[in-house]
Amino acid sequence: MFPAEVYIQRRKRLRELVGSGVILFLGNKDVAMNYAANNYPFRQDSSFLYYFGLDVPGLAGMIDCELGGETIYGSDPTLEDIIWVGNQESLQEKALKAGITLVKPLERLDGDVFRVIAHAREVHYLPPYREQRRLQLAYYDNLKYEEVDRNASEALIRAVATQRSVKDSYEIQEMEETMTRVTGEAYTQAIRQIKPGAFEYQVSGVLEGAALAKHCRMAYPVICSVNGQILHNHYYGNELKKGQMLLIDAGAESTRRYATDITRTYPVGGKFTGQQAEIYKIVLEAQLEAIKAIKPGKPYFEVHKLASTVIARGLKELGLMKGDVDDAVNHGAHALFFPHGIGHMIGLDVHDMEDIGEDYIGYDLDFKRSDQFGTAYLRMAKRLQEGNVVTVEPGIYFIEPLIEKWHSEGRYRDFIDYKAVRKYSGFGGIRIEDNIVVTDKGHQVIGKPIAKELTEVESIVGK
Amino acid sequence: MFPAEVYIQRRKRLRELVGSGVILFLGNKDVAMNYAANNYPFRQDSSFLYYFGLDVPGLAGMIDCELGGETIYGSDPTLEDIIWVGNQESLQEKALKAGITLVKPLERLDGDVFRVIAHAREVHYLPPYREQRRLQLAYYDNLKYEEVDRNASEALIRAVATQRSVKDSYEIQEMEETMTRVTGEAYTQAIRQIKPGAFEYQVSGVLEGAALAKHCRMAYPVICSVNGQILHNHYYGNELKKGQMLLIDAGAESTRRYATDITRTYPVGGKFTGQQAEIYKIVLEAQLEAIKAIKPGKPYFEVHKLASTVIARGLKELGLMKGDVDDAVNHGAHALFFPHGIGHMIGLDVHDMEDIGEDYIGYDLDFKRSDQFGTAYLRMAKRLQEGNVVTVEPGIYFIEPLIEKWHSEGRYRDFIDYKAVRKYSGFGGIRIEDNIVVTDKGHQVIGKPIAKELTEVESIVGK
């Protein structure tokens, strides 16, 4: 946990921002894998962690905006429990570390919530993402299960988005340290495994094991694939063959549950082919240019557009695209090769605060979400602020079903040379990603640099 | 998956055992970690795997006991999906591998279930262990959420228990292979890390990473602790100190999701102290004697009692227990040191079928659960059958809160020398566990042996 004062100040600000009523944070519970006693590793709710810091299952936190009261609900192990789980810090002691003195048994929560409702005071809650929490909220609100999400508090969502979007020095330090000591080191170990004849799972297993051996889990399921063009891909069963590329998208979660999120693309056998090297250079240029553009006040949408333009220009030089580059990007033709956004905020979640609603996090009155294929998937468009931490992750992919679809529909024939594209059949995909903090004057890449220059990458693979 | 014929035969037998009505198996869905799109690794329901073999989220299976119809419900990716997830085998193709020809969209499931209910036919289901499934069953049955578990089908539970308790040669082969190739090898790598100054998480991380690098996850959360006496313990933050012991309880899950479950206890620094060696020898003797007793027809309760007797006798020789050994065990005095059962069935779950009710799995008309502390926690007491796979895992622990409690209550003063026990303060705990298949004539330990003889263990730690 951070010092108690950090949580005290966050909650004080939250009370001011929400203004009235009572705020209810339901912490996460354990989730059964295959029977009730065999649980997945516990993951606390991120907003609960942000305001209370307590990383144990089965807690709730209540904050009274008007009266100022702050309560943690939970249970202490009984004497019987202690025989099996050992001596534990009491909930009272834990809560004190978050600056909270009032602790009540979890059984008191329902009554306290109903008392607030009986006084016709509003109970603010965030939209749930697990059934267990949705069920509990439905019970309080006397709502149909389906209505719970809709009744989430917009005032609370906006307040949480405001606070969590700007990272303080503790949070940035935490991400820096985890990136260098854990994620970077895990990549170093994994890269050594990339050899013809190895399997994807050998590389991803070593990467994940290296993080575990530093007491960290992964922030999200690893992508480690010779099919980098398949964007939602958690299959690890392929054998690596010389001439292929291996795309790895992985990041450790810090001990305080902050995410890191890195992507690199490596040549199996240690040498990119001519075709691969040409595309690699374009992606890297797009990434470096996009990073360079990051500063307070800059719309993230423009960073996305800049990367898209670098990509379209590069592909035009290779003969894959044609016509006016700006026109092509404005019309969305580049999205055949770069069909996702340039990145997203990152913090306690890898897609930070995605649970409370992407449009609250990445869009505002000035920036509405595009409905154009590709740009529509941009998770954030609004102006960057000092303290934002974002990913920058352009890519170029040859997605056969997408190419076939567009080709058969005759889409963007003025901007895409489908005959030239055909020569890249089986190419796969390349993505390069880093995490960037917006500083007062510009930006800083988080963590000790992880090799991404072409020759540097070639020199370390499989060694 | 195993050959289709395996699943066809299992379902045929199930229909015969249940006899009438319709059997509904709801497969597991994905579970969100911290937001809807960031899921835990998918774990299919074990009974669904047993009868259908399909290891993908969001499926359901229906079996008509009278008419013989078998249906898989699920969804195929749309053309849009394929852009992101790549070309996938169709659900039809997947279902054929389980010997099922009738596939319907998941949207049809609700209607089909309600049609069965409308015809006043019984819908058999197993008790749910996740809220998502409990909710769905409550909806079908028009039940209060709390009533769902109670309305689970006893006929189905008994049939599943009958079938899954006896492993076929495919299943045994799967566990053998995973034990040798993955769990055994993971232990080999982890043992090398056990050195003074290392942290528990370094050892457990290497162990888990080694399994991942073989394409296997763990069957349950690893225990890796210098506090072996804390039985429910998933903390890995302690530094290893010379003279301590490290207890590791871990097992890989095979690619077809069969569990393995091994415990070993290692001396940090490579040499047991005199006190540790004396206790280690007792635990090992108890384990070897218990394994030797395993054969068809033998009540597992007797195996438990045999191990308890070896432990009590050994502790008496060391002066920790006193009086008549058999009396001590009959009265339950040994449970101060060995407060859990000798083991449990293992298969698709590490505690096999614990979700459908431990008493159905381990007890029957001849063997009722004891209410004596210690023996009450024995998960299985009934006679062993050829094809059962069980763990054998005796241990001796010095659990300070339990010792204090019994001592202050004056419990078993005739059998326990509390003054002698005090000399073991800070000792920790030792457990040794293997997985055993009951054969026609006796038993066989699963997998290539993992070192457990005292001198062998000492010779490999930290090397």
- A72 DSSP 8-state letter: E
What percentage of chain B has pLDDT greater than the value 90?
Answer: 92
What residues of chain B lie within 8 A of the CB of A129, using their CB? 32, 34-36
The b/e string for B60-85 (b: 16+ C-beta within 10 A; e otherwise) is bbbbbbeeeebbbbbeeeeeeebbbb
Query: Which residue of A26, A35, A214, A349 to mutate against B (max B Cβ within 10 Å)?
Result: A35
End-to-end CA distance of chain B: 38
Report the residue of chain A nearest B373, measured CA to CA.
A80
The DSSP symbol for A41 reads P
C-alpha distance from B46 to closest chain A C-alpha (Å): 7
Q: Which of B30, B31, B33 to mutate to test the interface with A (most CBs of A within 10 A)?
A: B33
Name the least confident of A273-282, B81-90, B433-442.
Answer: B81-90
CA of B154 vs chain A CAs: smallest distance (Å):
18
Which CATH fold would you assign to the domain B4-165?
A: Creatine Amidinohydrolase; Chain A, domain 1 (3.40.350)
Integer Cα distance of B48 and B40 in angstroms: 19
Contact between A38 and B349 using a beta-carbon 8 Å cutoff:
yes
Q: Provide the mean pLDDT of chain B.
A: 96
What Cα–Cα distance (Å) separates residue A348 from each residue in A38, A123, A175, B345, B440? 25, 24, 10, 40, 55
Tell me the sheet residues that pair with B104. Answer: B73
Please name the residues in contact with B75: beta carbons below 8 A apart, sequence gap of 6 or more.
B58, B91, B105, B106
Rounded alpha-carbon distances, angstroms, from residue A380 to A164, A271, A364, B232, B270? 15, 35, 10, 43, 55
* pLDDT averaged over every residue in chain A: 96
Q: Is A105 on the interface with B (CB under 8 A)?
A: no
**pLDDT per position as a tens digit, A63-91:** 999 999 999 999 998 888 888 999 889 99
Interchain CB distance below 8 Å, A355 and B220:
no
Residue holding tokens 């539970």?
B157
Residue A141 pLDDT = 72
* Closest in B39, B201, B401 to A82, CB measured: B401
Q: Are B137 and B113 a contacting pair, CB within 8 Å?
A: no
Q: In A, residues 421-460, which contact B (CB 8 Å cutoff)?
A: none
User: Which residue from A87, A446, A118, A396 is spatially nearest to A259, judged by alpha carbons?
Assistant: A446
Instruction: Note which residues in 135-164 of chain A have CB less than 8 A from chain B.
Output: 135, 145
Chain A interface, best mutation among B83, B129, B208, B240, by max A CB count within 10 A: B83
The backbone region for B77, taken as left when phi is positive above 0, alpha when psi lies in -120 to 50, beta otherwise, is beta
B202 touches chain A (CB under 8 A): yes
Q: Is B214 on the interface with A (CB under 8 A)?
A: yes
A143 confidence band (pLDDT: 50, 70, 90): low
ipTM field: 0.95
From chain B, pick out residues whose CB is under 8 angstroms from the CB of A208. 208-209, 212
**By the CB < 8 Å criterion, does B37 face chain A?**
yes
User: With contact defined as beta carbons under 8 Å apart, do A296 and A385 qualify?
Assistant: yes
* Residue B216: predicted pLDDT: 98
Whole-number pLDDT of residue B14: 98
The fold for domain B169-460 equals: Creatine Amidinohydrolase (3.90.230)
Burial class from Cβ neighbours inside 10 Å (0-12, 13-18, 19+) for residue A455 reads exposed
- Concatenated DSSP letters of B71-134: EEEE-PPPHHHHHHH-----HHHHHHHTT--EEEETHHHHHHHHHHHHTT--EE-PPP-SHHHH
Residue of A nearest to B203 (CA): A213
Tell me which chain B residues have a C-beta less than 8 angstroms from the C-beta of A37: 351, 354
How far apart CA A152 and CA B265 sit, in angstroms, is 50
Confidence label for B298 from pLDDT (cuts 50, 70 and 90):
very high
- Please state the domain extents for chain A: 4-165, 169-460
With a pLDDT cut of 70, the percent of chain A lying above it is 99
What pLDDT does residue B140 have?
A: 85
Number of inter-chain CB pairs under 8 A, A vs B: 165
The type of residue at A279 is I
Using an 8 Å CB-CB cutoff, list chain B residues near A201: 212-215
- Which residue of B29, B30, B34, B85 is the best one to mutate when testing the A interface, meaning the one whose CB has the most A CBs within 10 A? B34
Question: What does pTM read for this prediction?
Answer: 0.96
How do residues B388-399 score in pLDDT, each as one tens digit? 999 999 999 999
- Judging contacts by C-beta atoms under 8 Å, the chain A residues touching residue B402 are 83
Q: What is the pLDDT of residue B412?
A: 97
Mean pLDDT of A194-200: 98
How confident is residue B135, by pLDDT bands cut at 50, 70 and 90? confident
Minimal-distance CA residue of chain B relative to A190: B213
- CB-CB under 8 Å, A221 with B41: yes
Residue in B129, B212, B214 nearest the CB of A36: B129
Distance CA B377, CA B236 (A): 25
pLDDT at B463 over 90: no
Q: What is the pLDDT of residue A337?
A: 98
Distances (CA, A) of B418 to A88, A177, B319, B402: 25, 49, 10, 12
Closest CA to B131 of A113, A46, A36, A58: A36
Residues in chain A: 463
> How many Å apart are CA B247 and CA B262, to the nearest integer?
11
